[in-house]
Amino acid sequence: IAAATAAGAGDVDDVVLVAPALVPPRAPPRTTTGEANAPTRESAAAALIGAVGRFLTAALAYASAPFLKIVLRVFVRSATFWRRGLAKAVGRASAPKLFTDLAWADGYRRPSCVRGWDDGMARVVVAACTGGVNDVWANESKRVARAFEGAEGAEAVDSDDDRGATDAVATLDALRASGARVLIVHGDEDSIVPLANSRRLAAALPGARLAVMAGCGHMPHEEDPDAFVDLVESFVESPVS
Name which of 169, 166, 170, 173 is nearest 139 in CA terms. Answer: 166
1 pLDDT tier (thresholds 50, 70, 90): low
Instruction: Give the pLDDT confidence of 18-39 residue by residue, as tens digits.
Output: 999 877 766 555 555 555 555 4
Bridge partners of 181, per DSSP, are 14
On average, the pLDDT of the chain sits at 80
Lowest mean pLDDT, pick from 79-93, 131-145, 208-222: 131-145
Taking the C-alpha atoms of residue 7 and residue 10, their distance in angstroms, rounded to an integer, is 5
Instruction: Give the pLDDT confidence of 37-66 residue by residue, as tens digits.
Output: 554 555 677 777 777 777 777 778 778 888
- Quick check: 132 pLDDT over 80? no
Task: Report the pLDDT value the prediction gives residue 213, as an integer from 0 to 100.
Answer: 97
- Quick check: 227 pLDDT over 60? yes
- Quick check: 134 pLDDT over 60? no
Task: Report the pLDDT value the prediction gives residue 226, as an integer from 0 to 100.
Answer: 97
Pairing of strands 209-213, 181-187: parallel
The interaxial angle of helices 102-109 and 79-89, nearest 10 deg, is 110
Instruction: Give the pLDDT confidence of 63-118 residue by residue, as tens digits.
Output: 888 888 888 888 888 889 999 999 999 999 999 999 999 899 999 988 888 888 88
- Quick check: 178 pLDDT over 70? yes
Report the range out of 108-117, 171-180, 187-196 with the highest average pLDDT: 187-196
Q: Which helix (H) or strand (E) holds 7?
A: helix 2-8
3-state DSSP assignment of residue 102? helix
Say which DSSP state 99 is in: G
Q: What is the mean pLDDT of residues 202-225?
A: 95
3-state DSSP assignment of residue 226? helix
Say which DSSP state 17 is in: E
The interaxial angle of helices 44-63 and 117-130, nearest 10 deg, is 170
